[in-house]
Amino acid sequence: MNIWPEAVNYYPEEPSIMPVICKPEYNNALANIAYACAQNELSDRVFDLTTYILSVNASHYTSLTMRRRCIKNYLYNIQVKIYQSLNLPIPISLSNQNFSHQESNNVQELLLQQINLLKTEFLLINEQTIKKEQHKNFQLWNHRNELVDLLSILGFDSEIRYQFNEAEKILVLDNKNYHCYDFLSLCMKQLIGIKNLTQKIQLSIENETFIQEKIKETTEKILKEIRNNSLYAHLMFLKQIMYKSKSLTEQDIILEFQQAKQFINKGIQNESSWSYLQGLVVIFRENTKIINEIVKPFVVEYACFDEDSVVSQYSIYLRIKMHHMGFITGENEMKECAKLCREVAMIDSIKRNYWEYLANECDNK
């Protein structure tokens, strides 16, 4: 890799303390990419340059950024040709392609160029992830997320579903990979058309079946890997889609809490399952009768001074949380919680200061 004449002034200067020794070729490449970024050069040579840098350093954020800019530029140039062929006004930037069936047939070759460009990019990133064991490389996952957004803009839903399936294979390398679960969630949002989980959602029969299948799969995985926090977060995401897509009966909500209690009973000192229960309390906080009858006695059972009971430090935190929410009341409630926190502080040396802080907070309430 030779340095470009115009990039000489961008040659990286190594610090005097702890310099990073690189091959001259790589330093030349870094100078070139710095120049390209400064000039916002979106050319074939820049795209090829990013390929070289990523083959050496798969975490090079600037190269991934410039690579995406090049891809967007390639896609836009193809889009211009598509709109010209269909005699449509040319958009000023990459935009949604909602064409009729006949229009799509007329520009099928150009659409294939777009999808093949993105497919090739996903193939490269997936190879980097698996062959170089980069399955927790944030930069690569962020790059994937951006590519999925492009697929969604261009209307290539079938490819999003394909990449969803490919990402699930990566979980074989690490079944706690939260980057991968975030990516799966993004794919689902794009496929279903969800912008946020604060509003009502309308699901097609196909999508509802798909979500229900994933809920069942994730629940079964949790029962086998009860401490896998990433699974709980993913399950909560899936459940919230269902909560927002239909009206839940009282029995439905009771079953949700019963399932959370089942998770906890398989590992009393497991923070993940207690956090999941706390999430349900927040979501269904309007259903005070159910929470008072089912959740309140369960939490107090594991956060008390009964010598015959098992105390869970995470139940103590939830007990305090539920007191602030108005579910667990009583004149001496905060005094009892403060005493519990101090008892836990005596045995939890790592988080001793945290429990002392909570105890003082309870004293001041």
Tens of pLDDT along 22-57? 888 998 999 999 999 999 999 999 999 999 999 999
Q: How far apart are CA 162 and CA 123, in angstroms?
A: 12
> Binning pLDDT at 50, 70 and 90, where does residue 16 land?
low
With CA atoms as reference, report the closest residue to 278 among 293, 252, 299. Answer: 299
Give pLDDT, residue 348.
87
Note the residue count of the chain: 365
> Binning pLDDT at 50, 70 and 90, where does residue 253 land?
very high
- Averaged over 8-18, what is the pLDDT? 75
Give pLDDT, residue 308.
67
Q: How far apart are CA 238 and CA 279, in angstroms?
A: 13
Q: How far apart are CA 365 and CA 362, in angstroms?
A: 5
Phi-psi region of 270 (alpha: psi -120 to 50; beta: other; left: phi over 0): beta
pLDDT at residue 20 greater than cutoff 80: no
> Binning pLDDT at 50, 70 and 90, where does residue 220 land?
very high
Q: Mean of the per-residue pLDDT values for the chain?
A: 91
For residue range 58-108, list pLDDT tens digits in order: 999 999 999 999 999 999 999 999 999 999 999 999 999 888 999 999 999
Q: How far apart are CA 15 and CA 8, in angstroms?
A: 18
Q: Which two tokens stand for residue 17?
A: 């303390």
> Binning pLDDT at 50, 70 and 90, where does residue 247 land?
confident
For residue range 255-275, list pLDDT tens digits in order: 999 999 999 999 999 999 999
pLDDT at residue 14 greater than cutoff 70: no
Q: How far apart are CA 174 and CA 68, in angstroms?
A: 27
